[in-house]
Amino acid sequence: MLNRARCGAWGPPHFISAEDLTCQAGLSVQQDTALVAFLGIPHAERNGHQYGEGFDNPEEGAAFLAAHPGFYARDAAGTVRLATGSGRLPMAPLFHPGYAHAADPDWSGLSPLSNPTSALSEGVPP
């Protein structure tokens, strides 16, 4: 938000852009897209979803599709993915309290972060 304010204050030729190389289907891409809209960025590269195969958990995908219709769609194989067919993502399905959050990820399918190894915690380079 600070960089967006700077661009506005400094004027042309300064601008802000957006790209998601790592945002996968679910909360991360929803919240990133909501931020891009909030900042008033009219075009953003949304290609992080291409590196994943949508939701690999059918129940999780169905929950997100039901909570955010139009932002997600089923592909020909039945997998829930971002609805990018028109080249635009609708913002209305993200208008939920909690920063575009209307469905929960399948927390049971996630792994917790691990503690650093002893070599790293002792300052020894890997």
C-alpha–C-alpha distance, residues 51 and 112, integer Å: 22
- Residue count (the chain): 126
Q: How far apart, in whole angstroms, are the C-alpha atoms of residue 60 and residue 45?
A: 25
The two beta strands, 72-74 and 45-46, are unpaired
Task: Tell me what pLDDT residue 121 has.
Answer: 56
For 2, 3, 20, 31, 103, the CA distances from 6, given in Å and listed in that order, are: 6, 5, 21, 22, 34
Digit-by-digit pLDDT tens for the chain (126 residues) are 899 899 999 999 998 888 888 888 888 889 999 999 999 888 888 777 777 778 888 999 999 999 999 999 999 999 999 998 888 888 899 999 888 999 998 888 778 887 766 655 566 555
Residues linked to residue 69 through DSSP beta bridges, in sequence order: 72
pLDDT at position 125: 58
